[in-house]
Amino acid sequence: MNNTQAFLLVVVFFTAFLSGCSSNITDGNEEIPDRKWTYRNHLKVPFEIKDNIKAYNIYFKLRHTADYQYANIFILAHFKDGKDKVTRRYQFKLAKNDGEWLGSGSGNVFNYTFPLLTNYHFSHNGKFEIEIEQNMRDNPLLEISDVGLLIAPN
């Protein structure tokens, strides 16, 4: 085997390894137009569960600028399984009492990943949807740049 063949073999194995490590059902963000999150602008994420024996973790992802006016955020999460819908209200702390942001990031943008459900078992295999809406008093809620969901096996 020459050096080129050995290199190609390593690349193939490395690519297969990386693709096998990403077993998330969904992991994405949706950009909020003009950084103004309105009541009508819901994040809707359809997904499919193929193995309801496994436990799953569901996370809400948020990105805001340093100009965001509050130390927290309230959201409504609507969990839908085709016929039933369960709505839960969440509050997430974004800053310390002194105003220092808790999120990671660089420059003017801060990132957060908050748990919605951990070690959760879906009742059946099939198609589901999670819908997220902002639940603050301001409409639009300013300086929110992205929202998203991460759903992954536990």
Residue 13 has what pLDDT?
41
What is residue 10's predicted lDDT score, i.e. its pLDDT?
A: 37
pLDDT for 98: 96
**pLDDT given for residue 3 in this prediction:** 53
Encode the chain in three state secondary structure: CCHHHHHHHHHHHHHHHHHHHCCCCEEEEEECHHHEECCCCCEEEEEEECCCCCCEEEEEEEEEECCCCCCEEEEEEEEECCCCEEEEEEEEECECCCCCECCEEECCEEEEEEEEEEEECCCCCEEEEEEEEECCCCCCEECEEEEEEEEEEC
Sites in the chain below the pLDDT cut of 50: 4-21
User: Which residue ranges form the domains of the chain, and what is each CATH number?
Assistant: 24-153 (2.60.120)
